[in-house]
Each structure stands twice: as structure tokens, then as C-alpha cells.
Structure 1
Amino acid sequence: MAGMTDSPRSQIRFPGAELEIDLDAIERNYQRFVRTLGAAECGATVKADAYGLGVAHVAPVLWDAGCRTFFVATPAEGIELRDILPEATIYIFNGAPRDWEYHFIESRLIPVLNSLSDISAWATFARAMGATPAPAALHFDSGMNRLGLSAAEVETLVAEPHRAPFDIPCVMSHLACADKPDEDMTARQRDRFAAAAEAFIEARCDAGLGDDRPRLSLANSAGILIDESYHFDLARPGIGLYGGNPFTDRPSPVDNVIRLRGRILQIREVSPPDTVGYGATHEVTGPGRIATVDVGYGDGYLRCFGEGNGWAVINGHRVPVAGRVSMDSHALDITALPLDDCGVGTMVDLLGGPVPLDDVVKTTGLSGYELLTLLGHRYNRVYKKT
């Protein structure tokens, strides 16, 4: 009987929407960054479940490709990644919550400290650890005003380097406008970061706090591709690994990674004065056909894909979304398609493949980051690897 399986019921794979993730493409994108960086190390940012694509599948591919340094946002993400990659170097962007520092030592995670108070708390913890190493990275804000030590705090730290007596393997900052390389702010951030980091390193050396020079890290995906003056010692690409365009003003330089396809659940004939969907926002103007597809905003296909914005591809034909997107489905106007071109069960391209991410960014107003990290967990996920 179709669908019979010995697998647990929770693992039965029913027909439905499918998210294909090309792990070979992720590896190719990583290797492109490696080649561009030359002597600098290429790490990888795998926060938010590897930008929604599944860190348990993505991280081992990056490790096999030669990546040894990984960046995530939260301690929980770091612990999950440690179970996947026992030997990796793992940085936690959001730092170490007070009274939870020991978990960082236990799981060999390196917090990124973002303020003088962070540094003070970690220094107290490091002293209590005695001979046990308690490394931590520092984040110097260079103009983004999100996380990181302010310029005034950096000046204080340069004047009083003993505030940070622990091992510091990395000093980093984050670019705010690298997606538009011609913005003056990008170069200003680079120069501010370089000056602040060098002043701190010199002060630390003069204070006798160790001969090991911290590695400097600034470049994200876009920063790597702008020019080598942004590379420093360690880069941390993110969106570009996963097929998202690092730039907003030029064609994507990376390979597509995902292909999202929905399944047609039903096709119906419509005619005036029929309407389609919640709010009756799509008014039928003539005899036509509507296909209902099994992907909705509960799957990350948001309402902004609705009437006038979203479109899909069926057997090479582009068709528009009709009306509002619902939680579990949306409608496509397939009136222009040949009658025998699709039916119940036909798979429909919604994102990636013949529906380029850059085109969807333009029509929906979402960023590539949002499109990827919003991808839901109800899809049948298919990981391609040769």
C-alpha cells in the first residue's frame, strides 16, 4: 500500500511542499570566499540554524571544506554546534550571560564581549577559574551602534588594558553598509576599526599582557568581496554561503542554494463576480482557473507575497499569486496555462531555482536574510550532496 513504512509515525514523509538544499553549492560558495581571502582565514557564520537551512547538515559540509572557525549568536546555538563539531572554534556573538559563564568553559565556547561591564564580569570569572583558560573575544563598535564597545569604552580599555587580563584570541567589528560598497561609511568603519584595534593591541603588549596578538575580524560576505583591505586576519561570511546576494546594487556573485516547491492541492474554475481568498481582495474579471498551493505564511511564505507581489513558476510558465496568502496555503491564477499543463499534485516553484531570490527581494520588500531564515519546518527537506 502506498505510504506504508516501518518508520515512526512522526517521521512519515507525506507528499507535500519540498525544500531542496544544495550542500554542494554551499561548499562552492565557501571555497570562493577562501580563494578571495588568500592568506586570511575564512570562518563561517552559522547562526539562526545556518540561516534557516539546517546547521546539523550545513556545518559538517563546511568543516569538510576546511572551515575551522564558526560564529553563532547565542550560547544555545553554540552548544548545539559543539555537539556537531567537537573540534571547531566557536564564537558567540551575544556574549556570556551573567552566572552562566561556566557553560562556556564546559562546551569550549568563546564569548564575544560587547561592553566594559561584559569585560569586568568575564575578568572576575576568569580569575576565579585560576589556571583554566577562559578566552574571550572583544567587539569594538565602529559605527553600527548595535553591539560592541563604544569609542569611549575602547579609549578606556586602551588606557587601562589590565581590565581584560584574560586571553583574547580575536578583536572584531561589524560592517553596517557593506551591501553597498560605494558607501563612504564602509571605508570609515574599516579605518576606525583598524586604528582602535592596533591601539589596543599596542597597549596590551606594553602592559605585558601576553605576546599573542589577537586576530582581527571585520569582513562579512560583502566585505570579503569588496577588496583585501577589509580582510584582516579572519573573515566570517554568512548570507553569501547560503546563496543570498551580499550586495543590493549588483548581481549576485554566489551560487543559488535553495529551491522551494509547493504542491497543488486543488484547481477550481472561477468567473465574475467570484473573489479569491481572505478579504475578497482578488476580484475575478473573466472565466479562469485558480490553483491552491500547500504553502502559506505558517511556512514563511508571508502575506507580502500576495496579490501584485508574489509569483510562481509551473513547468516553465510564470503565474501570479491571487489574493492574500493564508496560513497554510495560497492561490495562483493559472488561467493562462494550457489545461493539461498542471493538475492536483503538480509541484510549483516558489523560491530559488527559476524564481531567483533577488527578484523576490525586489517584489516583496523582504531581504535575502529574511527569505532564508523564515523558511519553515513543515517542508519535506531534501539535502543534495554528491
Structure 2
Amino acid sequence: MAKAQQTVLEINLNALTHNFEYLKSKLNSETKFLAVVKAFAYGSDSVEIAKHLQKLNIDYFAVAYAHEGVALRDAGIIAPILVLHPQVVNFKTIIERCLEPSLYSARILNEFIKVTEAEKQKEYPVHIKFNTGLNRLGFWQSDVDYIVSKLKNTQSVKAKSLFSHLAASEDKNEREFTLNQIKDFKSIATNFESQTDYKPWLHLSNTSGVINYPEAHLDMVRCGIGLYGFGNSAEQDSNLRPIAQLKSIISQIHHIEKGETVGYNRAYTSKGFEKTATIPIGHADGISRQFGQEKGFVFINNQKAPIIGNVCMDMIMVNVTNIDCNEGDEVIIFDGKHKASELAASAKTISYEILTAISQRVKRYIIY
């Protein structure tokens, strides 16, 4: 791989293939696989990720919002796309672009039926979201009768699936809670199916559900973070390969005396004769200010260099006093060896936030 000559995010599609095949190996052959590609495919490149997965015969995609689905359609993605958090204003666009909405409340259900009827749709595929403990979006278990009655009174929509979301499937201490979620969801499905003449698909498992709860794989699973190389535990991370590598270079090296300060607000004071390196990446690129003050770090020539002072909009400064390096040398913010999850832990956050924060102004390179 070529050394970075500017700040770049490299996206390795071979690693994506590995992660997809590993997660798919956990499933029965009948279980469908939905890839979550919201938020620019977790900060990478949703179009390139979706195109690659479509070549691997992925069954479904999911995005958060309608415009994300439209971008995929514009790029030639023909696989079904579930919109997880649709808004009423986008319903006509959803229909025009053959996207499939999650209906999660009485307001959203009634408004979508109204629009599909006006657009003279017949059995438009929708996905009914139930809340089984995450308490974020979804109907309650007691709403089944109401939902069925609404669906029976229209020809415009049909429930293609019922689904819910596990709240803590990665946490072994929450196993009882998760098992209760699975039980409640299966009860919802049984009630729903008893009142209809067809059986919608059922899906509940996220990446950690795929790994930890095979009894919850059902008809389809939804994988996000696992596809991008993280399994929510060190044990599972070892089976996955991070697809993204964030790299930069050293723009300038300074030698400073004891007592000199670095950066805005003079937030760092040299403890002696020190050497610092300035790197062209900052909070406008996704390196939050929370990584300043020696909490975050980068790697230069395989050695850890702490971020000193405050993170600037376009730059960070790091302490390289004990590192043999030169201007123009490559800098690793995270890659397959120095993982984003480790950087995240330094600021008490998670890999999801690190990945999705990478700005769109950072140039993406696709590696095959």
C-alpha cells in the first residue's frame, strides 16, 4: 500500500468481503442478510460499499433517512432498501424511488397509508417496527390489533416484515433482558400472524445478536458495525477486519523550549526541550476536541504520539520528542493494527462515533 501524501481514508473492500462472509457463516442458509449502510456506510462510502455488497448478492440494505436511499438508487443500487427513520415529508420520494419505510407509530402508519392510497399503490411493502425495550422508536406490543385492523382496511400497503431492535445484545450482563426482548418479539409476531392470512418476515438481530443469539436470527439479520470490522468485544474483533484506515502526514516539525506553549489558548506547556509535529487533520475532519490534552494519539513510525493542546479545526499537534521522524512522514490515526476502537476508548467513546465522524472533505481511496 502506498504511503499517504495527504489526509486520506482508505477503504478496503477485501476486508469488507471477509467480514460479510464471516457474519454470513453464522447464519442458516435460509436467513437473509441486510447490510446497514446509513451515515455514509458508517463513515466510509455508502455507494462503494453498497455496490460491492450487491456483487456479493446481499439481500437487503438499510439506511436511516430517505435521501440516503435516493443516493443509492442514483448510483445504480437495485436491491431492496429499508428506510429506518422515514419522515412524512419524504413519503412520496420513498414511493417514487421504490424504497421501503419502517412504520413505527400510528401517525407514520396513517400518513403513509394516506399517501399510498393517493398514489394508487397496491400492497406497497412496509416494515412494522416494534419497541421491545430500546424505547427509541416502535409500536408497543398492545398495538398489534390496531395495526392489523389498519392494514386490513387498505389495499395500498402490506407488511413485508415485522422487526425490533436489541438494546444490549453485546453485554453478557444483560442476557436476561435480551432474552426477554426476543421472547416479547416472538409473542408479537405470533399475535400478528394469527390475525392475518400471510406471514411477514421477522428480523431482530444486529451484529452482536448474530454473534451471541443464534435463536434470534429468524428470517433476516441486520448487520452494521460488524461489516466495518468491529464486533463490540475484543474476542469478536479478532475475527473481523476493519475496512477503514485513516492516514495523514507530518506537515511541519517544531522544536520548542521548556515553558513554551502549543496551540490555541496555550493549552499545552512544554515540560522541557520537546519536538512537536503538526498534522493536517482536525475537528472539521472528525478528530473531535475531546481527543486533545493528551487523551488521543496517532502512530508515527509505529510509535504512539499523544495529541497535545487543543485540537484545531484543520490541524492537530502531537508530541514526537522520542520518535525518529521527519516532515512528510506518514501518520496513522487508525488502521487494522491500531484500531479505531482503541482511539475511541482513550476519550471514553465508541468506534461508531469515531468512524461516522470522519468528514466528507477527507478524500476516500478504495482498495480492492
Question: TM over 0.5: same fold?
Answer: yes
Contact 2:253 2:277 in 1 (8 A): yes
Shift of residue 26, structure 1, vs aligned partner:
1.0
SS at match of 2:317: strand
**Alignment of 1:195 onto 2:178:** no
Contact 1:59 1:84 in 2 (8 A): no
SS at match of 2:14: helix
SS at match of 1:51: helix
SS at match of 1:335: coil
Shift of residue 131, structure 1, vs aligned partner:
5.8
Task: Tell me what 2:73 maps to.
Answer: 82
Shift of residue 104, structure 1, vs aligned partner:
2.2
Map 1:308-347 → 2, pairs under 5 A: 308-337=294-323, 341-347=324-330
**Alignment of 1:371 onto 2:362:** no
Contact 1:46 1:238 in 2 (8 A): yes
1:215-245 CA distance string (max 9 Å, x none): 0011111111113111010111001111233
- Among candidates 183, 202, 216, match of residue 202 of structure 2: 216
From the superposition, tell whether residues 118 and 131 of structure 1 become closer, same or farther in structure 2 (CA, over 3 Å). closer
Aligned residue pairs, count = 362
User: Distance between the aligned counterparts of 2:248 and 2:142, measured in 1?
Assistant: 52
Pairwise CA RMSD of aligned residues? 2.1
Contact 2:170 2:212 in 1 (8 A): no
- Among candidates 122, 132, 136, match of residue 146 of structure 1: 136
Contact 1:224 1:230 in 2 (8 A): yes
1:94-119 CA distance string (max 9 Å, x none): 13515x43322221111110112222
Structure 1 residue ranges without an equivalent (≥5): 1-13, 206-210
Task: Tell me what 1:58 maps to.
Answer: 49
User: Distance between the aligned counterparts of 1:259 and 1:102, measured in 2?
Assistant: 38
1:340-378 CA distance string (max 9 Å, x none): x32111111112233212211211112111111101123
Shift of residue 257, structure 1, vs aligned partner:
1.2
Contact 1:157 1:163 in 2 (8 A): no
- Among candidates 262, 266, 282, match of residue 280 of structure 1: 266
From the superposition, tell whether residues 111 and 305 of structure 1 become closer, same or farther in structure 2 (CA, over 3 Å). same
Contact 1:119 1:164 in 2 (8 A): no
Structure 2 residue ranges without an equivalent (≥5): none
Contact 1:138 1:168 in 2 (8 A): yes
Contact 1:273 1:283 in 2 (8 A): yes
User: Distance between the aligned counterparts of 2:271 and 2:359, measured in 1?
Assistant: 34
User: Distance between the aligned counterparts of 1:345 and 1:131, measured in 2?
Assistant: 59
Instruction: Provide the identity percentage.
Output: 29
Task: Tell me what 2:196 maps to.
Answer: 204
- Larger displacement relative to structure 2 (177-186 or 139-148): 177-186
Paired letter, 1:369: Y
With the length of structure 1 as denominator, give the TM-score of the two structures: 0.88
User: Distance between the aligned counterparts of 2:172 and 2:307, measured in 1?
Assistant: 34
Map 1:1-386 → 2, pairs under 5 A: 15-38=5-28, 39-98=30-89, 100-130=90-120, 132-157=122-147, 162=152, 166-183=157-174, 184-205=176-197, 211=198, 213-247=199-233, 251-337=237-323, 341-385=324-368
User: Distance between the aligned counterparts of 2:185 and 2:333, measured in 1?
Assistant: 41
From the superposition, tell whether residues 85 and 236 of structure 1 become closer, same or farther in structure 2 (CA, over 3 Å). farther
Paired letter, 1:365: K
User: Distance between the aligned counterparts of 1:73 and 1:156, measured in 2?
Assistant: 26
1:257-297 CA distance string (max 9 Å, x none): 11111211111111111111222222111111111111111
Paired letter, 1:49: F
SS at match of 1:191: helix
Shift of residue 139, structure 1, vs aligned partner:
0.3
SS at match of 1:169: strand
Task: Tell me what 1:8 maps to.
Answer: none
- Larger displacement relative to structure 2 (139-148 or 237-246): 237-246
